[in-house]
Amino acid sequence: MSANRSDWISSQAIGRDALRDALMSDIRRLIYALGLHLPNPPGTPSSIDLEIGRRLFWEAYACDK
């Protein structure tokens, strides 16, 4: 996820809007595929994994907004 975020920031800085939008779409797809948008994602084995998932979700949310 962090590689996508770095690419997203770079594409935004150089004005490549199509690439920026494509990368954010990919990030959104990954979030929904992993269930990070849910309060309790399925198959989360520990509270640490749950917290990491929440942080990833809100990082992507903040970048998108």
Give Cβ neighbours of residue 39 (< 8 Å, ≥ 6 apart): none
Is 1 within 8 Å of 60 (Cβ atoms)?
yes
pLDDT of residue 12: 63
Average pLDDT of the segment spanning 27-37: 81
Average pLDDT of the segment spanning 47-59: 81
Tokens of 43: 């198959």
pTM of this prediction?
A: 0.59
Q: Residue ranges of the domains in the chain?
A: 2-64
Residue type, 41: P
Dist CA 20 CA 14 (whole Å): 10
